[in-house]
Amino acid sequence: MNEWTLTELDLEYISLGAAILGTGGGGDVYSGKLRAWQQMRAGRRIRIISPDALQDDDLVISVGGIGAPTVGFEKFERGDECYRAMRAIEKAVGKNAVALMTDEIGGGNAIEPMIAAALADLPVVDVDGMGRAFPELQMNTFFIYGMLPSPCALCDEKGNTIVYTEAVSPLWMERLARASTIAMGCTAGMALPPITGKQIKAWGVKYTISQSWRLGEAVIRARAEKRDSVAAILKHEHGKLLFRGKVVDVKRWTTGGFARGKLEIDGFSDFQRRSLQIEFQNENLIASVDGIVVATAPDLICIVDSETGRPISTEETRYGLRIAVLGLPATPLFRTTEALAVVGPRAFGYDLDYQPLGDYVMPEPKVKP
């Protein structure tokens, strides 16, 4: 089986690309990158394999951090939370995992499985369940298409492990995990129910680690060569430049634990005298130009610095920032009726139909089977 062993520079690219795919949310990638570097410096390896190399009955476990990002900045990981959660699932199902994966490539959780995998000396699969970031567990392709919601495992830094043997729905799993996370001090590592090689091949959003790498590499190279980094992103992503302009207004409010808000952007260069509005709930969800909707979730609405291509989170947007807004088509797996019921505009409370942004082009894999 071919493997792609990551270097520190690869991680730099992947974390930048993952932050762009975070579409304004997804959490910080800096601490994850540092922790992954620590693993490499301790002599451990982070290896990536192709989803196409998996056998149908192979066991793969998806792990990631859960909790409040603000708390994570203060009380960050002991380091083996996700690793222990993975082991707990193996024990619960009586089978060893052949690899790990992330269910959310956008933001910090792109890196968490790599750290657990380095500790377990297992590879990470070049795949995820979103191709972006979303705020809740049930919003990934695996749950949408019928992966059972249990068993799941939750581990804190103190050594506590909870295994949820039965949950009646992904939504219940999400609810139970949140409640336990708070008791654990608002940060924990979580392992999702076992996923088979067959499920990954059918339901996985493929080659998204490769995609992050290419995105990050393109931006960093464009910067070094003093070229337009936004154009460099678009060249790789088959996406659309929705807008370039200056943020002129930001409104925020918090409901149900989510940071919601609205951005208004006045256009410049090709977009002069036009105005773009973006609605966000942790992630950017709806974009409209002069009142006409131009992109909605689950398509990706990514905001980057107009000059440097640096991804800009919904938390840091403020008046005066010069930004480019990119629309990237979502995976076809998110464009079906059953998926749109979970991740479409109506699932987030907007009375809108989803209008696909264009054709999805599968990313080029960096590692073949």
Partner 1 sequence: MYQIGIDVGGTNTDAAILTGHEIIGWHKHVTTPDVTSGIVGALSGALLSTNIDRVSIDAVMIGTTHFTNAIVQRRDLSRVAVLRLCGPATHSLTPMVDWPPDLREIVDGYTVLLDGGSEFDGRPITPFNKSSVREACRRARDLGLVSVAVSSVFSPVNAEHELLAAEIIRSEIPGAAVSLSHEIGRLGMLQRENAAIMNACLHDIGKKTIAAFRQSMVDLGLQCPLYLAQNDGTLMSAHFAEKFPVFTFASGPTNSMRGAAFLSGLRDAIVVDIGGTTTDVGALTNGFPREASVEVQVGGVRTNFRMPDIFSFGLGGGSLVTGVGTTLQIGPISVGYDLATRGRVFGGDVLTTTDIVVASGRAELGEKSLVADLSQAFIDDTLAFMQKRVEDAIDQMKLSRDPAPVILVGGGSILINEQLAGTSHVERPLHYHVANAVGAAIAQISGEVDRVVSLSEISRDEALSVAKQEAWDKAIAAGADASTIKIVDVEDIPLAYLPSAATRIRVKVAGDLKL
* Residue 299 and residue 339 in contact, taking contact as beta carbons nearer than 8 Å: no
If the CB atoms of residues 4 and 83 are measured against partner 1, the closer one turns out to be 83
Q: Determine the 3-state secondary structure of 125 from DSSP.
A: strand
Smallest distance from partner 1 to CB 149, Å: 19
If the CB atoms of residues 69 and 106 are measured against partner 1, the closer one turns out to be 69
* Residue 153 and residue 139 in contact, taking contact as beta carbons nearer than 8 Å: no
If the CB atoms of residues 145 and 172 are measured against partner 1, the closer one turns out to be 172
Rg for the chain, CA atoms, rounded: 19
* Residue 26 and residue 107 in contact, taking contact as beta carbons nearer than 8 Å: yes
Helix axes 30-41, 112-120, angle to 10 degrees: 20
Smallest distance from partner 1 to CB 199, Å: 28
Q: Which residues bind partner 1 (CB under 8 A)?
A: 31, 34-35, 38, 67-71, 73-79, 115, 157-159, 178-179, 182, 185-186, 246, 248-249, 254, 257-259, 266, 282, 316, 318-322
Smallest distance from partner 1 to CB 110, Å: 16
Smallest distance from partner 1 to CB 331, Å: 25
Smallest distance from partner 1 to CB 73, Å: 5
Q: Is 4 exposed, middle or buried (0-12, 13-18, 19+ CB in 10 A)?
A: buried
**Phi-psi bin for 344: left (phi > 0), alpha (psi -120 to 50), beta?**
beta
Smallest distance from partner 1 to CB 12, Å: 13
If the CB atoms of residues 208 and 277 are measured against partner 1, the closer one turns out to be 277
If the CB atoms of residues 114 and 234 are measured against partner 1, the closer one turns out to be 114
Interacting residues of 93 by C-beta distance below 8 A, sequence separation 6+: 59, 151, 194
If the CB atoms of residues 75 and 198 are measured against partner 1, the closer one turns out to be 75
Q: Determine the 3-state secondary structure of 329 from DSSP.
A: coil
Residue with tokens 């060249």: 235
94: tokens are: 């009586």
